[in-house]
Amino acid sequence: MTPISFKGTREGLHITLAPAPWREIMEELARQLNRPGAQSFFRGARVLLETGNRMLGVTELEELIALLAQHQMTLTSVLGETQTQDAFVQLRSAMPPPPENLQAEIESAPEHATEDLSALLIHRTVRSGQLIRHAGTIIVIGDVNPGAEVVAENDVVVWGKLRGVVHAGASGDTRAMVGALFLAPTQLRIGNFIARAPDEKRTQVWTAEIARVRDEQIVVEPWNAV
Amino acid sequence: MTGRVITITSGKGGVGKTTATANIGVALARRGQRVTCLDADIGLRNLDVVMGLENRIVYDLVDVVEGRARLRQALIKDKRLPELTLMPAAQTRDKLAVKEAQMIKLVEDLRKECDFVLIDSPAGIEHGFRNAIAPADEVLIVTTPEVSAVRDADRIIGLVEAAEKPAPRLIINRLRPSMVKRGEMLDTKDVLEVLAVELIGIVPEDEAIITSTNKGQPVAFEDRSPAGAAFTRIAQRILGEDVPFMVFDDTSGLFDKMSKFLKR
Ligand SMILES: Nc1ncnc2c1ncn2[C@@H]1O[C@H](COP(=O)(O)OP(=O)(O)OP(=O)(O)O)[C@@H](O)[C@H]1O
Ligand SMILES: [Mg+2]
C-alpha cells in the first residue's frame, strides 16, 4: 500500500493518506511533487486532503501546508477526524493566500466558473464524528448522520437525509442555503443564525426542504416552492 | 490454507463483543470449522473467562509478539471442541505493548493454521481498536438498540471505511421485543436506517448469557436458548448460508418469519 494516493477532480487535487507513519507520508508526497513534469501539473492546484482515521496535529498540518506551498498549491478542504479539523481551522487564518497567478485567474474568470471550481462533492454517508469543511459549496450524495458535521462557506445540498449539524455560509454569508431530501438536522446554521431541532421528535415525512434566512430568521420551505 | 480474519468491534463498551466472539467461535467450530479466537483487549482480557479457558493460560499474545513463546505454545485448545483455539491477551501489560505491524504478523501466522481468526476488539477508537482492525478481512460491528450505542457504531463504521476495509456487517444485540413493541426501544429498522449497513444477526436479551458466562460455557454450545440459536444463525450466515431472520415476539417466545425489510 502506498502511503498517499492522488486523484484529480474538478475541484482540484484529492489526496488521501493511508495509515502509514507520518515521515513516510511526507517523503512520498515530496517525491511525488518533485517528479519531472509534476511541477506544471500540480502548480496552482487546490488540495482536498482526506486523512481517514489518522489524527493530524497543528505541527503536522503546518508541515504539509508548507510543502504544498512550495509547489504553489493550497489546502482548501480537509475530510477527517474532528481533531484534524480543529487544527486546520486554527491554521487557516495563518495560511498563505492562494498563489498570485491563481488568484488573478479566479478574479478574471466569469462568476459561474468560480462557483463550479469551488463545489465539493461527497459521494457517501457522512458518519458520526466526521466533519467536512470546505471553502465553497458542499454537495453530499448520501446521508449526513447524527453526530456528523458539514460546514461550507457557501451552500450545502444533501441528496439524502440530513440529521447532523450543518453550517452554510460559515464565514458570515447569510445568502447561503441548506437543502436536503429530508431535512432534520440536529442544528442548522446559516451565517450567524442558528436553528435547532425541536426537542420532541417530529413525525418523519420524506419531503425535500430548503432552509434560508428571511427577515432575520431561518425559514424552512418545501423545495418545490423555490 | 489461509483463514478468514473477522474482527468484532463496537464503539461503545459493554455491548457484547466478547460474548459475540466466543459464541460465533463456538458455533463455527461446531460446524467443523477450525477457529482461533484472538483476544485483542490487552490489559482487560476476558475472552478466556467467557470461553471457560482462563485456568489454562501459560503464555499470551504479548509473549508471542516479543519472542518469549512460540505461537503453538500460547494457543489454548478448547476442552470441548478440538477445532477451537484461543490466543489470550496479556492481562498485566500496557495496551501499547503491541504495535500494529506486530499484530498483522501474528494474525498472518495464525490464519495459516485455521479457517477463521475471530478478533475480539477492545471498545473505543484508540490504539487497541486500530490494532484489532488492521489485520481484518471483514468487520462485524456490535451495537445494542440504544441511541448512544448506535451513534458510536456509526462512528466506528466511518473509521472502518476510512481504513479501506470492506463494508462492515452489523449485529444488533440485547434486543428486547417487549420494549420495542411498547415503542420504548429502537427497532431493527430504526437502527439500520441510520447505519445503512448489512445486518448479519439480531441477538435477543437472554438471561442464559449471564449464567453461561459465569460457567464459562458459551450459549452457542446448544441451540436451546434464544441467544444461542441467534449466534448459530450468525455463524451460518458467515458461512454463506441463506438463513431467514427471526422476528422476535415477546408473548410466544419466538416464531419464524421471513422479514424482508431486514434484507437490504
Ligand atoms: N444478549 C445478551 N443478553 C443478556 N446479557 C448480555 C447479552 N449480551 C451481552 N450480555 C452481557 O453484557 C455484558 C457485556 O458483554 P461483553 O463483555 O460481551 O461486552 P463487550 O462489548 O465485550 O465489553 P467491553 O467493551 O468491556 O469489552 C456481559 O455481562 C454479558 O453477559
Ligand atoms: Mg470485551
How far, in Å, CA of A220 to CA of A197, rounded?
12
Which sequence spans correspond to the domains of chain A? 4-94, 114-225
Determine what percent of chain B is predicted with pLDDT higher than 90.
Answer: 77
CA distances from B251 to A18, B178, B179, B184, B248 (A): 51, 8, 12, 17, 9
B101 in reach of chain A (CB within 8 A) = no
- CB-nearest to A128 from B134, B158, B164 is B158
Alpha-carbon dihedral B140, A49, A116, A109, rounded to 10 degrees: 180
Q: Name the nearest CA neighbour of B140 among B245, B9, B39.
A: B9
Counting from 1 in the atom list of ligand 1, the atom nearest the Cα of B213 is: 31
Confidence check: pLDDT of B197 > 60: yes
pTM of the model: 0.74
Mean pLDDT of chain B: 90
Helical (H) or strand (E) element with A88: helix A82-92
Return the C-alpha cell found at A124.
Answer: 457517501
Burial A164-189 (b: 16+ CB within 10 A, else e): bbbbbbbeeebebbbbbbbbbbbebb
Residue nearest to atom 16 of ligand 1 (CA): B16
C-beta atoms of A127 and B151 within 8 A:
no
Note the pLDDT of residue A95: 53
How far, in Å, CA of A62 to CA of A167, rounded?
25
Between residues A208 and A51, the one the model is more confident about: A208
pLDDT in tens, A101-132: 444 333 333 333 334 447 899 999 999 989 89
Residue nearest to atom 6 of ligand 1 (CA): B209
Chain A interface, best mutation among B99, B125, B148, B154, by max A CB count within 10 A: B154
Residue A37 makes CB contacts below 8 A (sequence gap 6+) with: none
Residue A162: how many other CB atoms lie within 10 Å? 29
Note the pLDDT of residue B128: 92
How far, in Å, CA of B70 to CA of B67, rounded?
7
Note the pLDDT of residue A225: 56
Ligand nearest to the CA of B19: 1
Confidence check: pLDDT of A140 > 50: yes
Residue nearest to atom 9 of ligand 1 (CA): B16
pLDDT in tens, A40-67: 777 777 888 888 777 788 888 888 888 8
The answer to whether domain A114-225 has CATH 3.40.50.300 is: no
How far, in Å, CA of A149 to CA of A187, rounded?
9
Note the pLDDT of residue B248: 65
Confidence check: pLDDT of B260 > 60: no
Residue B49 makes CB contacts below 8 A (sequence gap 6+) with: B213, B216
Determine what percent of chain B is predicted with pLDDT higher than 70.
Answer: 93
Q: By the 8 A CB rule, do A79 and A132 touch?
A: yes
Could you say which of 3.40.50.300, 3.20.20.70, 3.40.50.720, 3.30.160.60 is the CATH number of the domain covering B4-263? 3.40.50.300
How far, in Å, CA of A6 to CA of A31, rounded?
13
User: How many helical (H) and strand (E) elements, i.e. helices and strands, does chain A have?
Assistant: 6, 15
Note the pLDDT of residue B97: 84
How far, in Å, CA of B44 to CA of B142, rounded?
18
The CATH class of the A4-94 domain is alpha beta
Note the pLDDT of residue B118: 98
Confidence check: pLDDT of B249 > 60: no
Confidence check: pLDDT of B18 > 90: yes
B163 in reach of chain A (CB within 8 A) = yes
Helical (H) or strand (E) element with B76: strand B76-77
C-beta atoms of A127 and B154 within 8 A:
yes
B162 in reach of chain A (CB within 8 A) = yes
Q: What is the ipTM of this complex?
A: 0.71
Confidence check: pLDDT of B127 > 70: yes
- CB-nearest to B155 from A124, A128, A143 is A128
Note the pLDDT of residue A116: 43
C-beta atoms of B163 and A53 within 8 A:
yes
How far, in Å, CA of B62 to CA of B42, rounded?
9
